Structure 1
């Protein structure tokens, strides 16, 4: 597998905010072959710091999602540097002038790709980690007759107030760098990006993870080693405006936003026809299981199935917690064989 991807040209896209995303582009990659009955489609959106390449850790030969049996479509989130983003958009929507793109807008664009361009009428499963899981809820609420099953893991249908505040913290760390210059930086704001990564590391893993020294299983001798790695990853791997554009999408996350439900969150959950397994990690610090438990009460076909792991939100990162991976595959298999 490679970093290759395709581009679906969307043209000018009217956004939920009332703005227009000009000359919009949706990056995506497909894996496997569409069955003659066109009934083996699995959609894997991307997570916050993810791309379609990173999603390749969630499927493979012999896995519950297998390119030998499934046609996998992995669309990239707006703002991730592959789809339209602050870093690749032309003026006047470059950098900090990139408009707010909400979950609704992302899924509307993905629907155009999958339904209009690829000619697919039914999706067997939409699944994903973190922001990708948030998109699975959005898919099921926005196109309830198209989506047959969803499996959001370490995600939620609406960004909670506490989650919003966590994101304000990492944003503030980035923007405090004098080199930030309101987003019109001459060179990457390295100190701000490093601070962003260092603060984020405190939320990505649980208290138990640090208490029990599980960072050593990742090859780090000390906590400082881990923190410096997270700093390097954000300085070397991410454009600051892209991070903040996706962060704004995350903060605005709410499946009831838009003309279908007009802010009625319970109605949006109740309209989801898809079979669902909601799989939070019990020690996730910003997508706690309580949010999913509440959601499941209002979804007609949802199973609430939390998984306990000291890895916290990063239990879902491929390779971290084999038990989580095994349970994830079992849950996916259950949904795809019903």
Structure 2
């Protein structure tokens, strides 16, 4: 049923238990708990599901500003499914289940997504979308399960983390290994801040503004994560290279058979734009669009009404409208 007066319905909280979940390294978890929400109505043919995936330290509510009639994720057209990836949020994680592995990989999160599709009886998702870490999960899914994902809309992402991202992730993890107090979270945030906003932007900011940002990030992390959980998540992201995992860049790129939209920021310091351009040039049905902005890696999280928000919102909405799923 269409939303009343153009207002999105409230998300419906859901949970799923996946028995005997197997991680890529062979570790087994008796029950993997997945926390997710849905919005909209699943079509009779079960062909309008839209998977939404968050970034490394994010959670399933990340996309709510974009979940509007006529927007990037339209609950009048799609059955939206937004998931807390294993390792954080309301899903299984080290803090809630000591049997949860201390380390896991990007592919393990994708395998959990497929388990959810199976449980919901969805043979193919109409699309998969998300920012940052989500791009790694989406590309891995589309390569390993080409019949399960109809199209990819990936924001400020890439197919791998390069040496800079690994260095930032390892610095963050090193700090948290030494200090799990609020001060440790703040020091870890300081290691990560230049990557989020860009080194030049941070250097030009007033000291008081930098301090306020560090306080905010540290408080959010400390509230949402244990130090070992956050460290494991950034290890999964920082050490991910899907080309290496899947037989080389040529094999990976040509193995992505569904339509792919990359939306990037010119000032993103986390994923290099030139490398994304090279990857997109090798994928058969890929498009890259770029916005000139100083917001760096956080451009998708600009407030509604901003040029950045409109860029991600409307380009993604048009992509679903203009592109038939594979």
Q: Normalised by the shorter chain, which TM-score bucket?
A: 0.7 to 0.9
> 2:51–2:127: 8 Å Cα contact kept in structure 1?
yes
- 1:38 maps to 2:46: yes
Give the aligned length.
Answer: 314
Alpha-carbon distance, 1:221 to partner: 5.8
The residue number in structure 1 matching 2:224 is 237
CA spacing shift, 1:281–1:112, aligned 2, 3 Å: same
Which stretch shows the higher mean deviation, 246-255 or 320-329? 320-329
> 2:168–2:191: 8 Å Cα contact kept in structure 1?
no
The residue number in structure 2 matching 1:316 is 300
Alpha-carbon distance, 1:113 to partner: 0.9
Which stretch shows the higher mean deviation, 249-258 or 227-236? 249-258
* Equivalent-residue separation in structure 2 for 1:252 and 1:207 (angstroms): 22
Counterpart pick for 1:65 among 66, 73, 79: 73
> 2:264–2:273: 8 Å Cα contact kept in structure 1?
yes
CA spacing shift, 1:254–1:127, aligned 2, 3 Å: same
Structure 2 SS opposite 1:23: strand
Alpha-carbon distance, 1:234 to partner: 2.4
Counterpart pick for 1:303 among 287, 299, 302: 287
Structure 2 SS opposite 1:249: helix
Alpha-carbon distance, 1:211 to partner: 5.6
* Equivalent-residue separation in structure 2 for 1:246 and 1:13 (angstroms): 18
User: Alpha-carbon deviations, 1:277-316, whole Å to 9, x = none?
Assistant: 1112111111121221121122110112222210101111
CA spacing shift, 1:26–1:254, aligned 2, 3 Å: farther
- 1:100 maps to 2:65: no
The residue number in structure 1 matching 2:184 is 192
User: Alpha-carbon deviations, 1:187-216, whole Å to 9, x = none?
Assistant: xx2221121123222221124534665x8x
The residue number in structure 2 matching 1:171 is 173
The residue number in structure 2 matching 1:125 is 127
Stretches of 4+ moved more than 6 A in 1? 1-4
* Equivalent-residue separation in structure 2 for 1:37 and 1:157 (angstroms): 32
* Equivalent-residue separation in structure 1 for 2:50 and 2:196 (angstroms): 27
- 1:226 maps to 2:213: yes
Which stretch shows the higher mean deviation, 300-309 or 194-203? 194-203
CA spacing shift, 1:240–1:320, aligned 2, 3 Å: farther
Which stretch shows the higher mean deviation, 232-241 or 152-161? 232-241
What does 1:110-121 align with in structure 2 at a 5 Å threshold?
110-114=113-117, 116-121=118-123
> 1:9–1:25: 8 Å Cα contact kept in structure 2?
yes
- What is the RMSD computed on CA atoms of the aligned residues? 2.4
What does 1:1-338 align with in structure 2 at a 5 Å threshold?
5-90=13-98, 93=99, 98-114=101-117, 116-177=118-179, 180=180, 189-210=181-202, 213=205, 222-256=209-243, 261=246, 263-319=247-303, 322-338=306-322
User: Alpha-carbon deviations, 1:140-180, whole Å to 9, x = none?
Assistant: 11211222211111111122222111111111122222xx4
> 2:170–2:235: 8 Å Cα contact kept in structure 1?
no
> 1:270–1:298: 8 Å Cα contact kept in structure 2?
yes
Structure 2 SS opposite 1:12: strand
The residue number in structure 1 matching 2:4 is none
> 1:151–1:277: 8 Å Cα contact kept in structure 2?
yes
Structure 1: tracts of 5 or more residues without a match: 181-188
* Equivalent-residue separation in structure 1 for 2:97 and 2:109 (angstroms): 16
Structure 2: tracts of 5 or more residues without a match: 1-8
CA spacing shift, 1:43–1:257, aligned 2, 3 Å: farther
Structure 2 SS opposite 1:126: strand
